[in-house]
C-alpha cells in the first residue's frame, strides 16, 4: 500500500524537528539558546529543518517507496532512544548522533538485488539533493549575497546531503553501502565514486 500514514507524518515531523534542534545546539552550544534573539534561533532552526531534516527524511522515504514498489510492507518509525541520544550528544559533546528513526521493511520474499536497489535509493536521493543545492548556490550568492539565508541554505544543504550520501555508501552494516556491495560491487563502487566526487570535487576546486 502506497502513501504515508498519519502516524508516519507525526513521527517524521518529530524526527525532523529533533535533528534540526540537535544540530543547532551542537553548533551554538546550549548557552547559545539564551544568548541569541528568538528570531535568529527560529531562522537557524528553519534552515536546519530545510537542509538536514529534509535530507534525512527524503533519504528514508526513498527506501520506503522503492520497497513498496517491490510489494514489501514499509513504514517510517522513529526511535525514541535515538532521539534522546541525538539531543544528549549535541548538548554534552557538541556533535550529533543522528539516529532518530528509520524505515522498517517487511517482505516474505526479497532478493539480494531488490534489497540492494532499495538501499541505494537513499544515497542516490542525497546525491540528487546535493547537486540541486550546489546548483542553487552561485545563483543565491549572486542574487541575494553570500551572507543571505538563501546562500546559507544552499551551502548547508549541499554539504549535509553530500556527507549523508558518502557516509551511507560505506560498506559496513547497517549502512546502505553494505547491502549495495552484497548485491553488486560495481554499482556500489560507481555510486560511491559519484558521491565522493559530488562532495569532494567542489571543495577541491574551490580550495
Cis peptide before 14 (omega within 30 of 0): no
- Between CA 72 and CA 42 the distance in angstroms is 39
The C-alpha cell at 6 is 498519519
User: Cβ–Cβ contacts within 10 Å for residue 68, how many?
Assistant: 18
The full DSSP string for 47-65 is HHIIIIIHHHHHHHHHHHH
Q: Are strands 101-106 and 73-78 parallel, antiparallel or unpaired?
A: antiparallel
Residue 135's nearest CA partner among 161, 115, 106 is 161
Positions marked active-site: 60
Rounded to 10°, the helix 149-168/54-69 angle is 50
Amino acid at each position: 500500500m502506497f502513501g504515508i500514514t498519519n502516524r508516519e507524518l507525526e513521527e517524521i515531523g518529530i524526527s525532523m524537528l529533533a535533528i534540526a534542534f540537535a544540530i543547532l545546539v551542537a553548533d551554538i552550544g546550549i548557552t547559545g539558546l539564551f544568548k541569541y534573539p528568538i528570531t535568529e534561533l527560529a531562522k537557524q532552526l528553519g534552515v536546519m529543518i530545510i537542509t538536514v531534516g529534509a535530507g534525512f527524511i527524503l533519504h528514508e522515504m526513498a527506501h520506503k517507496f522503492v520497497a513498496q514498489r517491490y510489494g514489501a510492507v514499509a513504514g517510517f518509525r522513529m526511535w525514541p532512544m535515538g532521539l534522546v541520544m541525538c539531543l544528549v550528544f549535541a548538548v554534552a559533546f557538541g556533535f550529533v548522533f543522528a539516529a532518530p528513526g528509520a524505515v522498517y521493511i517487511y517482505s516474505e520474499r526479497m532478493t539480494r538485488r531488490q534489497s540492494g536497489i532499495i538501499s541505494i535509493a537513499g544515497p542516490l536521493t542525497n546525491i540528487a539533493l546535493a547537486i540541486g543545492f550546489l546548483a542553487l548556490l552561485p545563483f543565491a550568492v549572486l542574487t541575494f549575497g553570500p551572507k543571505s539565508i538563501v546562500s546559507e541554505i544552499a551551502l548547508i544543504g549541499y554539504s549535509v546531503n553530500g556527507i549523508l550520501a558518502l557516509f551511507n555508501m560505506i560498506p559496513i552494516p547497517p549502512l546502505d553501502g553494505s547491502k549495495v556491495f552484497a548485491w553488486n560491487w560495481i554499482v556500489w563502487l560507481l555510486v560511491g565514486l559519484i558521491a565522493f566526487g559530488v562532495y569532494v570535487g567542489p571543495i577541491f576546486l574551490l580550495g
